[in-house]
C-alpha cells in the first residue's frame, strides 16, 4: 500500500476513535439511570419581579377581595405570560409570510487571490479579482400561494389570541375556586368551633348531673366521646385551611407561605337570582368560548393550507435583476474592470412532479376536513359543559335552600333537647343526637353556600362570559 494511503487510513481511524470517544454519554444498561454531566443541567431561569400590586408587603396579613385576587393572578402568573408570548410569536409569523410579497435584494462581494506557477516554479503570476454585485429577485405572480400562506398564518394568530383569552378564563376560574374553597374552609372552621364549644358545654353539664346523682357515668362517657369527635373534626378542617390558603397563594403566583387572607363566606349567596335559560347560555358559549373559537380558527388555517398546497402546481412569474462589476489586478497592474447587468422574467410551469402536488393537496384537504370534525366535536363538548354546569347551579341553589331549612330545624331541635336535658326530662342520647344533627347542618350550610359559588364560577367559565344578565355574578367589591 502506498505510504500516503496508509497515512490517510491512520488519520481516518484516529478520527473515528475521537468521534466515538466524544459521543454523548448514555445509561450503561436499561435498568440504570443516566447521570447527566454538569453542562446538561439547564440553569434555573431568573424569575421576573412581581408587579407592584403583587408585592408580598402589599398582600401579606390583609384581606383581599376575589376581584383583587384575580387582578394579581392575571398580572403575575407565568401561564398568562407564556400564552401572551405565543401570540407575539404568531404575529411575527404573519409578518414573515407577508414578506413573500416584497422583492428580495442581496448585496455580495467576493475577492480572489490566485497564484499560478509554471516552468518548475521559475515563473510565477499573481492575480487579484474583486467582484461587488447586487441582485434582486421578485415573485410577481403565484396564483394564490402567498395569499393562502398569509391567511393560514393569520388564522393561527387568531387561534393563539383566543387561546390566550382561554388561559385567562381558566386562571380566573382557578382563582375563584381556590378563593371560595378557602372561604368555605374558614366558615366551616367557625361552624366546627361552635359545635366543639357546645359539645364541651354538654360534657360539663353531664359531669355536673353525674355529681348530683341524676345522670349515669355512661352519659359522661358519651358526652366526652362527642367532644373528642368534634375536636378531631375541628383539627381536620384547621389543616385543610392551610392547604387551601397555600393553593390560593400558588394560584396568585406569590410565595406559598405568604399569609394571604380572603373575605368571609357571604351568608347570602343570592341562590334565588334568575339565570338565563340553558339555550341562551349554550348560544352564548358557542359565540364566546375562546377555546371553541381557537379550534375553529385552526380549521380555517387548515383550509388555507389546501389553497397553498394546490398553488404549488400552478405557474409562477418572477423577475430578477443583477448588477456587478469585476476588478482585476494582474502582475501588479490594474486591468480595466468589467461591468455586468442583467434583467429577466421567468415563467415557471410545473409539468410533472411525480404526483407530489396532487398528494399534498389531498393530504391538506383531509387535514382540513379532520379539523372541521374536531371543531364540531369540541362544540358538542362545550354544549355539554354548559348543560352540565347549568343544572349544577340549579342543584346547588336547591341545596342552599334545603340547607337553610335543615339548619333552622336542627337549631330548634337542639334548643328543645338542651332544655329537656336541663330540666331532667330528656336523655343525654337525645341531646347528643340533636347536637350532632346541628353540627352536620352547620357544615352542610357552609358547603352548600361555597358549592353554589363554585357552581356559578364554573357556569360563567363554561358559558364564556361573566355577564350578570346571564349569570348571577357576585357584585364586585374592592377590599378596604
Query: What pLDDT digit, counting tens, does each position of 126-175 carry?
Result: 778 888 999 999 999 998 999 999 999 999 999 999 999 999 999 999 99
Beta strand extents in 119-226 (DSSP E only): 123-141
**Which H helix or E strand runs over 319?**
strand 316-330
Do the bridges between strand 63-64 and strand 261-262 make them parallel or antiparallel, or are there none, so unpaired?
parallel
pLDDT at 72 > cutoff 60: yes
Within-domain flag for 370 = yes
Contact 159, 294 (CB under 8 A): yes
Q: What's this model's pTM, rounded to 2 decimal places? A: 0.80
Same domain, 367 and 448: yes
Q: Where is the domain boundary, 296, 328, 349?
A: 349
Q: Where is the domain boundary, 349, 369, 393?
A: 349
Same domain, 284 and 426: yes
In the chain, how many H helices and how many E strands? 10, 6
Same domain, 212 and 69: yes
Same domain, 297 and 381: yes
Same domain, 298 and 404: yes
Same domain, 308 and 381: yes
Q: pLDDT digit string (tens) for 239-289?
A: 889 899 889 888 888 888 877 888 888 888 888 887 888 999 999 999 989
Residue 93 vs residue 222, higher pLDDT: 93
Within-domain flag for 456 = yes
Within-domain flag for 93 = yes
Task: Please count the structural domains in the chain.
Answer: 2
Cα dihedral: 474, 475, 478, 480 (round 10): -100
Same domain, 124 and 90: no
CATH code (residue 441): 1.20.1600.10
- Name the nearest CA neighbour of 160 among 96, 73, 94: 94
Within-domain flag for 270 = yes
pLDDT of residue 21: 47
**Burial of 372: CB neighbours in 10 Å, binned 0-12, 13-18, 19+:** middle
The arithmetic mean of pLDDT across residues 221-238, rounded, is 90
pLDDT of residue 269: 87
When the pLDDT of each residue in the chain is averaged and rounded to a whole number, the result is 85
- CA dist 34 and 30 (Å) reads 10
- CA dist 307 and 146 (Å) reads 10
- CA dist 434 and 406 (Å) reads 12
Same domain, 254 and 198: yes
Q: Domain span at residue 321?
A: 104-141+316-349
Q: pLDDT digit string (tens) for 411-461?
A: 999 889 888 887 777 788 888 888 888 888 988 999 999 999 999 999 999
Same domain, 172 and 271: yes
Within-domain flag for 187 = yes
Contact 297, 305 (CB under 8 A): no
Same domain, 116 and 169: no
Contact 469, 276 (CB under 8 A): yes
pLDDT bin (cut points 50, 70, 90) of residue 83 is very high
Same domain, 114 and 184: no
Phi, psi of 398, rounded to the nearest 5 degrees: -65, -40
pLDDT of residue 154: 94
Within-domain flag for 194 = yes
Contact 198, 229 (CB under 8 A): no
Same domain, 93 and 109: no
Q: Where is the domain boundary, 305, 324, 349?
A: 349
Amino acid at each position: 500500500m502506498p505510504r500516503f494511503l496508509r497515512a490517510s487510513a491512520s488519520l481516518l481511524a484516529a478520527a473515528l476513535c475521537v468521534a466515538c470517544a466524544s459521543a454523548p454519554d448514555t445509561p450503561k444498561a436499561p435498568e440504570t439511570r443516566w447521570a447527566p454531566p454538569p453542562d446538561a443541567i439547564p440553569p434555573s431561569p431568573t424569575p421576573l419581579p412581581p408587579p407592584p400590586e403583587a408585592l408580598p408587603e402589599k398582600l401579606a396579613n390583609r384581606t383581599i377581595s376575589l376581584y383583587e385576587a384575580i387582578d394579581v393572578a392575571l398580572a403575575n402568573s407565568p401561564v398568562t405570560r407564556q400564552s401572551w408570548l405565543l401570540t407575539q410569536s404568531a404575529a411575527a409569523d404573519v409578518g414573515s409570510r407577508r414578506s413573500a410579497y416584497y422583492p428580495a435584494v442581496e448585496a455580495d462581494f467576493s475577492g480572489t487571490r490566485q497564484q499560478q506557477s509554471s516552468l518548475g516554479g521559475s515563473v510565477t503570476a499573481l492575480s487579484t479579482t474583486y467582484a461587488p454585485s447586487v441582485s434582486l429577485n421578485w415573485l410577481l405572480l403565484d396564483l394564490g400561494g402567498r395569499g393562502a400562506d398569509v391567511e393560514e398564518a393569520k388564522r393561527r394568530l387568531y387561534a393563539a389570541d383566543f387561546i390566550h383569552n382561554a388561559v385567562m378564563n381558566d386562571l380566573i376560574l382557578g382563582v375563584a375556586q381556590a378563593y371560595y374553597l378557602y372561604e368555605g374552609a374558614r366558615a366551616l372552621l367557625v361552624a366546627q368551633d361552635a359545635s366543639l364549644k357546645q359539645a364541651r358545654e354538654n360534657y360539663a353539664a353531664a359531669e355536673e348531673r353525674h355529681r348530683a346523682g341524676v345522670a349515669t357515668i355512661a352519659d359522661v362517657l358519651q358526652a366526652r366521646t362527642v367532644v373528642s369527635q368534634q375536636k378531631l373534626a375541628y383539627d381536620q378542617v384547621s389543616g385543610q385551611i392551610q392547604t387551601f390558603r397555600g393553593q390560593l397563594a400558588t394560584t396568585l403566583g406569590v410565595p406559598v407561605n405568604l399569609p394571604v387572607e380572603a373575605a368571609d363566606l357571604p351568608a347570602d349567596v343570592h341562590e334565588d337570582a334568575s339565570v338565563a335559560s340553558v339555550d341562551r347560555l349554550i348560544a352564548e358559549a358557542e359565540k364566546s368560548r375562546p377555546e371553541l373559537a381557537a379550534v375553529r380558527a385552526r380549521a380555517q388555517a387548515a383550509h388555507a393550507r389546501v389553497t397553498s398546497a394546490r398553488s404549488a402546481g400552478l405557474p409562477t412569474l418572477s423577475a430578477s435583476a443583477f448588477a456587478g462589476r469585476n476588478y482585476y489586478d494582474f502582475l501588479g497592474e490594474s486591468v480595466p474592470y468589467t461591468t455586468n447587468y442583467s434583467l429577466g422574467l421567468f415563467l415557471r410551469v410545473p409539468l410533472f412532479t411525480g404526483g407530489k402536488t396532487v398528494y399534498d393537496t389531498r393530504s391538506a384537504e383531509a387535514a382540513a376536513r379532520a379539523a372541521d370534525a374536531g371543531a364540531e366535536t369540541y362544540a358538542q363538548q362545550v354544549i355539554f359543559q354548559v348543560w352540565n354546569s347549568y343544572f349544577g347551579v340549579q342543584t346547588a341553589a336547591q341545596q342552599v335552600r334545603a340547607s337553610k331549612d335543615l339548619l333552622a330545624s336542627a337549631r330548634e331541635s337542639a334548643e328543645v333537647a338542651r332544655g329537656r336535658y336541663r330540666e331532667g326530662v330528656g336523655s343525654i342520647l337525645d341531646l347528643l343526637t340533636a347536637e350532632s344533627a346541628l353540627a352536620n347542618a352547620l357544615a352542610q350550610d357552609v358547603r352548600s353556600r361555597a358549592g353554589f359559588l363554585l357552581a356559578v364560577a364554573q357556569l360563567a367559565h363554561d358559558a364564556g362570559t361573566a355577564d350578570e344578565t346571564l349569570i348571577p355574578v357576585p357584585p364586585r367589591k374592592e377590599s378596604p
